[in-house]
Structure 1
Amino acid sequence: MSALDRYAAFFAELTPADLARFDQFFTPDAIFSDPFNKVQGVAGVQAVFEHMYTQCAEARFEVLEVISAEQVGYLRWRFHFQLKRDKAMRRPIEGVSRVVIAHDGRVSEHVDYWDAAGELYTQFPVIGGLMRWLRRRLAVPAVGGVG
């Protein structure tokens, strides 16, 4: 099993209890970035995930695909979540992570790419309406679209 496969399995099974083990999976100077955060160091990465777990009543990642090339790989994932104030799960968010594996097999860089406007913001009443309106205004009129 490659280092990226081990990391993907860890990511897919991640729970709040695993936050204490982040130093086993991230280098001391690891960089983590997503649409809301950019942190460096294990403590910074832990803080991002601690915040996620404090905001979500339920949160889990489903790893859909793992692609590896040398020290760089990509994880395609689906994030399932329910905010603490929600009565039900929200629509899952899909994204891709670019992961750089250091020579010791730990992650030195994890950058998430996902559409915050289309995947997340549209799920909230006020900002969702604004985002849907903006998308309609900016989109090319339908011509042979894929749905």
Structure 2
Amino acid sequence: MEQHLSNFVDIYNQLSDKNLNLLRSIYDDSIVFSDPLHKVEGIEDLTKYFENMYANVNSISFDIKEHYVIDDKGFLYWDMHFSHNKLNNRKSITVAGHSQLTFKGEKVINHRDYFDVGALLYRNIPLLGSVIKTLEKRAVS
């Protein structure tokens, strides 16, 4: 199982808008992918999700900090680095998160991401981000 997780990470690090066909080499056709903002079922819909993601970001990469394997499950702890035209004045944003992967043979059948939506989105939207940062400062004062 360790090798399957290593292969998953290797492919993920190669992904771009130019080679989304690689998704089929790591995900089962009936993949269920979910994160705090989306739920996607099936490899075709997952490919569309990735196409949309790459179309809306200037850059994106993942720095895998730790990984573990237990039975048919893989756990990845990562930092995502990305920039987006409408967030944080196009400056890079870093969000920590982790993924729980369930393997069926060599491929992932279930992928669930966990991360702070505020760190990803809300704090980086013009005006709303300023309000949230002000509220956070008051909460710890």
Separation (CA, whole Å) in 2 of partners of 1:94 and 1:127: 21
Deviates more, 1:117-126 or 1:104-113: 117-126
**Closer, same or farther: CA 80–112 of 1 in aligned 2, 3 Å:** same
Shift, 1:83, TM fit:
1.4
Shift, 1:88, TM fit:
4.6
From 100, 104, 115, the counterpart of 2:102:
100
Shift, 1:89, TM fit:
3.3
Q: How high is the TM-score relative to the length of structure 2?
A: 0.86
Matched, 1:111 2:123: no
2:56 aligns to what? 55
**Closer, same or farther: CA 13–21 of 1 in aligned 2, 3 Å:** closer
Shift, 1:24, TM fit:
1.4
Alignment-mate amino acid for residue 49 of structure 2: V
SS at match of 1:45: helix
Q: How high is the TM-score relative to the length of structure 1?
A: 0.83
SS at match of 1:125: coil
2:45 aligns to what? 44
Q: Percent identity?
A: 25
In the alignment, structure 1 segments of 5+ residues that lack a partner are: 143-147
How many pairs does the alignment contain? 139
1:145 aligns to what? none
Separation (CA, whole Å) in 2 of partners of 1:89 and 1:42: 31
Question: Superposed, which structure 2 residues align to 1:1-147 within 5 Å?
Answer: 2-84=3-85, 88-102=90-104, 104-136=105-137, 139=139, 141=140
In the alignment, structure 2 segments of 5+ residues that lack a partner are: none
**Closer, same or farther: CA 48–93 of 1 in aligned 2, 3 Å:** same
